Structure 1
Amino acid sequence: MTSASIARVLIDSPLPQLDHPFDFRIPPELADVALPGVRVVVPWRSLKNGAAGYIVEVTSDAEFTGKLSDLGEVVSPARVLTPEVWALARRAADRAAGSANGILRLAVPGRQVRVERAWVAEHEEQGADVAPPIPQVSATPITGYPDALAEALAAHDRIALDALPGVLPGPQEAPVGRWAITLAEVALDRYAAGESAILVVPDYRDLDQLLLALEERVPIVDILRMDAKQPNPDRYRAFLAALEPRPRIIIGNRSAVYAPAHNLGLIALWNDGDPLHAEPLAPYVHARDAALIRQEQSGAALVFAAHSRSVETQRLVEMGFIRPLDPQPRQRPKIIVTEQQDQGEGPAAAARIPSAAWKAIADSVREGPVLVQVSRPGYAPMLSCKRCGDAARCTSCHGPLGIPSRGATPACTLCGHLAAGWVCATCEGTEFRLVTRGTGRTAEELGRAFPATTVIVADGEKTVLTVPDRPALIVATRGAEPIAHGGYRAVLLLDGDRMLAAESLSIASDCLRWWSHAAALAAPGAQVLLVGVGGELARAFATWNQAEFASAELNDRRALRFPPAVRLATITGQTDAIGEVLTSLEGLPAGDILGPVPVILEETGRPTGESRAVVRFDYAAGARVAKELRAAVIEYATKRRAPRAGARPGRAAPTLKVRFDDPEIRL
């Protein structure tokens, strides 16, 4: 072979056995366009039209000693897979015992032909010798933080940043959270130095806030939004712009952490404890983990910012891997913890609000908007039997029954089956009792108590992003709270005891994060009232010392060997296959194996026919465990298995699923 005449191609396939580059000979007519990062089609015996893929390397050394097939076609000259993103995808997938293709589907959007052709033509017209533009902006002091923050960014340090609470006016007097102003100023610091920044936030509400904060500080042409809600052409256009050799500020959801960026100088994650940062598709790599890997590879600054620090970030802080930085001086909302005992009479009792909190709402709502946070959307999200008290279950799928709106017939919250003629399976009762009150019922009760006040509902079904600075009661579920102009005059946090009753290892940290986010929306000096919660969690919230609670939570998990003190890997599949995999992990240092046990579908309580084992191990053993489990998945996928008795012809073979750091495991 002549110099640089071999293309190593990663095939776009979900099959784990194909998750490695294949060598193809580059024919002379493709030598000028067959470059690393381009999309190609290669001949493939089982596919009539060939297999799609990316060239990840061009070399003169073939790993295959036989005769190589010729590269079939270069789809486009656009080099959409950069070496940095390919290295990130490979390493992140290996750490999670998964396929790099699973990550590249997030990193590289689907091709939009017209958008790509226009972009290629524009760059061919400009030529390759055009120097990248120099940003014509200057960095400004990062409001509320010491000079040490700017120094740490310039040194490309790793930082855990406690965000300032509050709401400030943005463009056209639109309200913007102070956290968004801080991230915009942090990004501007690197952008002014000629470096790109990637800002990753959980959802579209946060993206809108961040965009408002950036618009007054950075030329709009250099702000690239990569959002799953965008039309495909717009998202692909932003992706192609990120490939250009000029500094950009890239904002988006979890997949934006894989965005290409010229001279990357900053990766920032807002609220890394939010479950929306966890990728639900294989190989399930959390945005936090991808950011840590990319920071190590690129040497960029890394910022984890939040009102309530996650336990995972606290572990990195205590290891000395990340440097904590607090605002100077520290600011905190005026938080009051109230016990849910003396509810008084009349409307206050009906609305499950203590009399002291009720009086605070009545006084505050005369001046402006008041936020009431509840745990569930809907009218009555959960019902029970009035006679025996057992949870009311659907007769079709055994899911929980609820009332979606006032006057509606009770129905299953899972399958939608109407519960007309329902009979309790325990006592044969036929009447319901409300167990929880959702946004609809709470709004109804508050509307009766304050007949002259506007009541606004904001939840998953009714999206409200901002509210004006005038008297109103806003009833919202966690995470759906609108931003009020000037901040809320009072914030009431209800259903704390019900939130804490959820079966989750991280529920205490989650509640602290939900409450902190809502409290940060209060106006200066406004009261924030937490109802019905006490103990260390309430104390940490009242003193605005979330890091102290995260440290205590981490110590408890170390004692119990729970994540993130250790790592977990779950193996799901047929029991005999799991047994073979677990045999390969014998002798694992400082590790233990739980199970296998049958997998039960939580909504119905019925077995799925599969089993699951949990492997618990120290971080030092992570590379070995990932390698062994990946090898087991590939072996299982390629093994020829005789069909089981009674199996239908053509039915898909059972699979073996491996997931690292599974957040759904309840220890």
Structure 2
Amino acid sequence: MTGDPAARPIARILVDSPLPQLDRLFDYEVPKEFAHLVAVGVRVRVPLRSAGRVLDGYVVELAEEEDPTRVLAEIEDVVSRAKVLPPRLHRLARAVADRAAGSAVDVLRLAMPRRMVRAEKTWLASDACDAPVVLGDERARAGEVLAAYPGLADALDASERVAVDAPPGVDDGLPAWTLLIAAAAAHTLAGGRSVVLAVPDHRDLDLVEERVARLVPRSAIVRIDAERPGPDRYAAYLRTLEPAPCVVIGNRSAVYAPVVDLGLTAIWDDGDSLYEEPLAPYAHARDVAVVRQSLDGGALMFGGHTRTSDVERYVAIGFVRDVPAARRLTARVVLGAPQDTPQTGRIPSAAFRAAREALEQGPVLVQVARPGYAPSLVCAECRSPARCTHCGGPLHAPARGATPVCAWCARSAAGWACRTCESTRVRLASSGSERTADELGRAFPGVRIIVADGAHPVREVPDEPALVVATRGAEPLAPRGYRMVLLLDGDRMLQAPELRVGENCLRWWSNAAALAAAGAPVHLVGVTGSVARALATGTHSAYAREQLAERRPLQMPPAVRVARVEGDAAVVEAALDRLRGEVDGLAADAVLGPVPADEQGRRRSRALVRFAYAQGPAVAGSLRAAVVQAAVANRSRKQPKGSGRSRPAPRTLSVRLDLVDPDL
């Protein structure tokens, strides 16, 4: 502020608009009647002359305009005096948007729940929260857990970036890995700093919340969950704005929580696909956490039963420090060939005998690839895939002896005939969770069978003999651990046409094996090679390094960054030409494509751009400028009202950076 009496107070506003050309701050004059209400972070409504309408926005900065000749529009209204956008959150949103070639307001839509007036009024009328206190016994317990990882507590205090291999097994009725995460949170909160814990899904969220509540006061825990009602979500967000430190537990959006004095950001199992944001600007939670740590400080911890190639790249370049456990616990893994005797079917005889013995002591977990009875069918004669005669979708069997049903249009395929050989008989090409349960029920008569998948969610099973058939990621918790874990369909899982199929399979198998009791065997059926050896020997980090080394000469992520450019063919070509001219050092083979992607008669195309991490800011800036240019061109191409001409179709351009699994 200059103190010049002729200067006018102004506010720099970020307007809430999806138009990329509006992704900047606009200056508005502050009317005298709103001078006492306008503050950094409040919601306002402002006119937009170019659009001829009033938009919502956020006050990002306050300043003074000294030029008396400059004409500025005035703020039309102040929505609320609640300061919901602190500078630290806007700074993070701007940095994430710039890295991902997106808009800051799109990032804020992911970070801030929808406004709920009643919850906001209650928060404004309430007193400030008191600083939570972690009791001595809980602090001692947290210290004991962290002591199993030499140097981890010091790394947290020094705000370092670390990668930790979590312990397998079950501890006090909960997975042992939750104790490690909770201990790190309690240690940080006891030091007077806030914590953000991100987990993949709601089941993990429940487990972590229950464990953390045993070490820190319940009042200090803030749960950010998209499945909760709107008022609860907004109230939780408002709590993160309080000056008192807290522990935020949530899914991928939790990494944006604007807590005060961030001391630790921990991401559990960062290889899970649920961390991939499906909305623009598509920033992965792992990347957001790295950006935030560089801005706000605090420690950054990656934990899991396995190691992704992304985190291993960080370790290789010295960006993240590997903190090994003082004593590495690995599962007793047995590798077996499938169907070595006709009597055991899909289960090798050794695993069959081990399952019988384990059932005398408690539950046995059987992991399968897919839910349902028979997820896919083939012709019994020529083995051609069975397809629906109406839409061409794949047929599946919902139950034993049932008429095949199309997975796309849900029509029954009564009277089906193969288009190749005209046979009318089908056979089961794969076994889902329900068919596996049916087979095991006949093989183990008198044993209770429990199915756990998306259609039959089961959180926990009793500690008594039972065969638990679960799809990957849906395995229930056994309070004292499973007496045996049987991993089926491994060869089928590895056949998925994905870049990270080996990493994903190792993660699925390791997470299931971690549910076994101490000393319980883990049988992996029908899989050999490096991924099986990594599971059997516990060398997950070495496998991640191997994957990273294989991708470097192929220029595939995470060895390099990959962007996808998609839209009208002419606009894509213009964007690629601009990119080649503006980014120095871009390799000659950096661009793959463009390839046709015709849609409803429109000539569209898409391309992949591979580039080094050091080129990231230049590539993101060039592609973002191309998106803005296309949007501005669309606006200028609109015909004026009353011209009698039809409005031309918009020439779109979309950009997505950091593809996890590129597919051209």
Residue type matched to 1:272 in 2? D
In structure 2, how many angstroms separate the alpha carbons of the residues matched to 1:311 and 1:79? 40
Once residues 61 and 332 of structure 1 are traced to their aligned partners in structure 2, the CA distance between those partners, rounded to angstroms, is: 65
Change over 3 Å in CA distance of 1:420–1:655 after alignment to 2: farther
**C-alpha distance in structure 1 between counterparts of 2:189 and 2:7, whole Å:** 39
- 1:45 CA displacement: 4.0
CA shift at 1:341, angstroms? Answer: 5.0
CA contact (8 A) 1:6 1:62 kept: no
1:431 corresponds to which residue? 425
TM-aligned CA deviation for residue 396 of structure 1: 3.7
Alpha-carbon distance in 1 for matches of 2:311, 2:35 = 47
Out of 318, 321, 325, the residue aligned to residue 319 of structure 2 is: 321
C-alpha separation in 1, matches of 2:398 and 2:606: 35
3-state SS in 2 of match to 1:488 = coil
Q: Residue 393 of structure 1 aligns to a residue in which SS?
A: coil
**Alpha-carbon distance in 1 for matches of 2:478, 2:603:** 50
Partner of 2:280: 282
1:265-276 equivalences in 2 (<5 Å): 265-276=263-274
Q: Distance in 1 between matches of 2:268 and 2:144?
A: 16
* Match for residue 374 of structure 1 among 358, 368, 373: 368
Work out which of the residue numbers 143, 148, 158 in structure 2 matches 1:141: 143
Aligned with residue 453 of structure 1, among 444, 447, 451:
447
Shift in alpha-carbon separation, 1:422–1:611, aligned structure 2, 3 A? farther
Runs (5+) with no aligned partner, structure 1: 170-174
Q: Which residue of 1 aligns with 2:215?
A: 217
Q: Does 1:478 align with 2:481?
A: no
SS of the equivalent of 1:518 reads helix
Which residue in the other structure is 2:91 paired with? 87
| 1:524 match | 518
Q: 1:610 to 1:362 in 2, by over 3 A?
A: farther
1:60 aligns with 2:64: yes
Counterpart for residue 153 of structure 2: 150
Q: CA deviation at 1:651?
A: 8.0
Aligned to 1:194: 192
Could you tell me how far apart the structure 2 residues matched to 1:536 and 1:600 are? 40
- Separation in structure 2 between the aligned mates of residue 108 and residue 63 of structure 1, nearest angstrom: 35
Say if 1:40 and 1:72, in contact at 8 Å, map to a contact too: yes
1:282 to 1:262, Cα distance in 2 relative to 1, 3 A? same
2:310 match: secondary structure: helix
Instruction: Note if contact 2:331-2:521 (Cα within 8 Å) is conserved in structure 1.
Output: yes
SS of the residue 1:563 aligns to? coil
Question: Following TM superposition, by how much is the alpha carbon of 1:65 offset from its aligned partner in structure 2, in angstroms?
Answer: 7.4
C-alpha contact (below 8 Å) 1:142/1:182 kept by paired residues: no
Which AA in structure 1 matches 2:63?
A: T
Checking the alignment, whether the CA contact within 8 Å between 1:23 and 1:63 is kept in structure 2 is: no
Whether contact under 8 Å (2:98, 2:621) holds in the other structure is: yes
Question: Which residue of the partner structure matches residue 24 of structure 2?
Answer: 20
Residue identity in the other structure for 2:611: F
Deviates more, 1:360-369 or 1:397-406: 397-406
Do the aligned partners of 1:382 and 1:403 also contact (CA within 8 Å) in 2? Answer: yes
Q: After the TM superposition, which of the residue ranges 537-546 and 649-658 deviates more from structure 2?
A: 649-658
What is the one-letter code of the residue matched to 2:388? C
Mapped pair 1:109 → 2:107 = no
Partner of 1:163: 166
Q: Find 2:225's aligned residue among 227, 231, 240.
A: 227
Match of 2:642 in 1: none
**1:100–1:407 distance in 2 versus 1, CA, 3 Å:** farther
Cα distance in 1 for residues equivalent to 2:617 and 2:507: 31
Alpha-carbon distance between aligned partners in 2 of 1:616 and 1:137, rounded to the nearest angstrom: 51
What CA distance in whole angstroms lies between the structure 2 residues aligned with 1:284 and 1:102? 10
Q: Could you tell me whether the CA contact under 8 Å between 1:379 and 1:404 is conserved in 2? A: yes
Query: Are the counterparts in 2 of residues 447 and 453 from structure 1 also a CA contact under 8 Å?
Result: yes
* CA deviation string 1:521-545 (max 9, x = no partner): 0000100000000011111110011
Cα distance in 2 for residues equivalent to 1:607 and 1:544: 52
Write the distance in 1 (CA, Å) between the matches of 2:408 and 2:69: 56
Alignment of 1:555-566 (within 5 A): 555-566=549-560
SS in 2 for 1:5: strand
The AA in structure 2 aligned to 1:15 is: L
How far residue 334 of structure 1 moved from its aligned partner, in angstroms, is 1.0
Q: Which amino acid aligns with 1:17?
A: Q
User: 1:256 aligned to 229, 254, 257, which one?
Assistant: 254
Give CA-to-partner distance per residue, 1:73-131, whole Å, 9 cap, x none. Answer: 111111111111111111111111111111100111100110101111124xx6xxx9x
Letter in 1 for 2:650: A
Aligned letter for 2:220?
Answer: D
| Percentage identity across paired residues of the two chains | 49
**Match for 1:208 among 206, 209, 216?**
206
TM-score by length of 1: 0.93
CA separation of 1:520/1:73 partners in 2, compared to 1, >3 Å: closer, same or farther? same
CA distance in 1, matches of 2:549, 2:419: 43
Pick aligned residue for 1:507 from 491, 501, 510? 501
Distance 1:320 1:46 in 2: 49
- Normalising by structure 2, we get a TM-score of 0.93
> Which letter does structure 2 place at the counterpart of 1:166?
G
Q: Which of 283, 292, 316 does residue 290 from structure 2 map onto?
A: 292
Whether the 8 Å contact between 1:373 and 1:478 is mirrored in structure 2 is yes
Quick check: 1:4–1:58 contact (8 Å CA) kept in 2? no
1:419-440 residue CA offsets vs partner (Å, 9 max, x unmatched) = 3333333333322121110001
Residues 136 and 502 of structure 1, relative CA distance in 2, 3 Å threshold? closer
Structure 2 counterpart of 1:149, one-letter code: L
Check conservation: 1:503, 1:666, Cα contact below 8 A: no
Deviations 1:541-594 (A, max 9, x none): 100110010001000011211110011010111212111111112254243111
Matched residue, 1:172? none
| Alignment counterpart, residue 404 of structure 1, candidates 392, 398, 417 | 398
| Contact kept? 1:369, 1:489, Cα under 8 Å | yes
Structure 2 match to 1:237: 235
Q: 1:599 aligns with which of 590, 594, 597?
A: 597
Aligned to 1:181: 179
2: CA distance, partners of 1:429 / 1:653:
49
Distance 1:484 1:177 in 2: 9
Asked if structure 1 preserves the Cα contact closer than 8 Å seen for 2:580 and 2:586, the reply is no
Which sections of structure 2, spanning at least 5 residues, go unmatched? 640-644
- Distance in 1, matches of 2:424 and 2:586, equals 54
- For 2:91 and 2:412, locate their aligned partners in 1 and report how far apart those are by CA, in whole Å: 52
Distance in 1, matches of 2:96 and 2:399, equals: 45
Task: Tell me the equivalent position of 1:39.
Answer: 43
**Do the aligned partners of 2:150 and 2:323 also contact (CA within 8 Å) in 1?**
no
In the alignment, the residues of structure 1 paired with residue 150 and residue 125 of structure 2 have an alpha-carbon distance, to the nearest angstrom, of 45
Which amino acid in the other structure matches residue 25 of structure 2? P
Asked if the contact 2:134–2:189 (Cα under 8 Å) also holds between the matched residues in 1, the reply is no
Q: Aligned equivalents of 1:42 and 1:422: distance in 2? A: 62
User: Alpha-carbon deviations, 1:32-68, whole Å to 9, x = none?
Assistant: 2211111111123477761011111112258997311
Superposed CA offset, 1:586-610 (max 9, x none): 2542431111112389xxxx99963
Residue 616 (structure 1) aligns with: 610
Distance 1:102 1:420, change over 3 A: farther
**Preserved CA contact (<8 Å) 1:96 1:284:** yes
Asked if 1:659 corresponds to 2:662, the answer is no
Alpha-carbon contact 1:338-1:531 (below 8 Å) kept: yes
Q: Name the CA distance, whole Å, in 1 between partners of 2:18 and 2:598.
A: 27
CA contact (8 A) 1:23 1:62 kept: no
- Residues 19 and 642 (structure 1), Cα distance of their counterparts in 2 relative to 1, 3 Å cut: closer
Shift of 1:168: 1.4
Structure 2: how far apart are the matches of 1:405 and 1:13?
49
- Could you say if the C-alpha distance between residues 61 and 411 of structure 1 is closer, same or farther in structure 2, counting changes exceeding 3 Å? farther
Q: Does 1:536 align with 2:525?
A: no
Distance between the aligned counterparts of 2:247 and 2:515, measured in 1?
A: 26
